Amino acid sequence: MGMMRAFTGRPVLRAGLTAILALALAGPGCIKQMRTDIAANQKRLDELENDLEAKRKELEEALAEASRVLRRNSADQGLQIEEIQQRLAVMEGQFAEVRMEMAGASEAQAQRSLETQERLSEVARAAGMDVPLESSEIPDDKSAHWDALQKAYRINKHSYARALARAYVARYPKDAHADNAQYMIGSSYLRQGQAAAALGEFQKVISTYRTGDAIDETLYDMSQAFLKVRSCEDAGTALRALLKNHPKSPLYRQAQKELRKVRSLGAAQCDDR
């Protein structure tokens, strides 16, 4: 009785004793099966760790290549960055699958996986690949959000600026700065040499913010994007619209010069640019 009373105040010890007794009564067959399951689980964990390490090495190679391309100003830079973006996107998916399988792994392994994902996102943004922002990365205050967007745009942090701009337009679609935020998305693509993507974003400014103060800049940059995709006629149309509808724009004289240049090129020369 004294022994039983001693255990009454210790539920954890009592549970441990129960488990030991159950294991003893289970018999050698059950113990053998448990050992087999443990060995199988350990083997699977080892395989996952090896798979993750192999993907980590592949990521390191991609990161090094991305850094080399970003430091180089070669003519085929755009194509190389697109190839790296595709590789990073594939690897991001692979890492996501491995992380799901390793959900039961140790906390240290989970932390390493998280750090790798964060680094992957940073390098993807540096390569110009759009990566969604976590809510914690977006200022809650509208004014602070706008200031962060302007700063990112000014220092050419293209992917980060576009993510902030998209979040701003989504949160404050009727705000006076919303048209400028949408314009910045297209402008950042144009700065990176992605004219086709830029045109799609500029079109949103024209269709959604027709009376906004970013229209003249949008039309001018659209003309530059059209020239890059060898569409002189459309470039001329954008410039004429700017001159007709925005005679007081600071870009008016520059647009006149550009329109004369476009006219002097002619369709054939424009196609050869």
* 16 residue type, one letter: G
Q: CA 70, 76, 80 angle in degrees (round to 5)? A: 55
Distance CA(226)–CA(199), nearest Å, equals 8
Per-residue pLDDT band for 159 (boundaries 50, 70, 90) equals confident
Task: State the average pLDDT for the chain.
Answer: 75
pLDDT at 77: 54
Q: How many helices (H) and strands (E) does the chain have?
A: 11, 0
Residue 257 reports pLDDT greater than 90: yes
Task: Report how far residue 220's alpha carbon sits from residue 236's, in angstroms, rounded to the nearest whole number.
Answer: 10
Q: pLDDT at residue 166 above 90?
A: yes
Over the stretch 132-149, which tens digit does the pLDDT of each residue have?
Answer: 677 888 899 999 999 999
Q: Given a cut of 60, is residue 228 above it in pLDDT? A: yes
pTM: 0.56
pLDDT higher than 90, residue 188: yes
pLDDT at 25 over 70: no
26-41, pLDDT tens digit by residue? 455 555 666 676 666 6
Mean pLDDT for the stretch of residues 164-169: 95
Q: Tell whether the model's pLDDT for residue 175 goes beyond 60.
A: yes
Question: Which of 222, 217, 163, 232 lies closest to 196 in space, CA to CA?
Answer: 222
What one-letter code names the amino acid at 26? A
Whether the per-residue pLDDT at 237 is higher than 80: the answer is yes
Q: For residue 271, what pLDDT band results from cuts at 50, 70 and 90?
A: low
- Measured distance CA(33)–CA(36) in Å, rounded: 5
Which band of pLDDT confidence, cut at 50, 70 and 90, is reported for residue 208? very high
Query: Tokens 């390569």, residue?
Result: 127
* pLDDT of the residue at 58: 72
pLDDT at 209: 95
For the segment 113-139, what is each residue's pLDDT rounded down to a tens digit? 555 555 555 555 554 556 667 788 889
Give the tens place of pLDDT for each residue, 72-99. Answer: 544 455 555 666 666 666 666 666 666 6
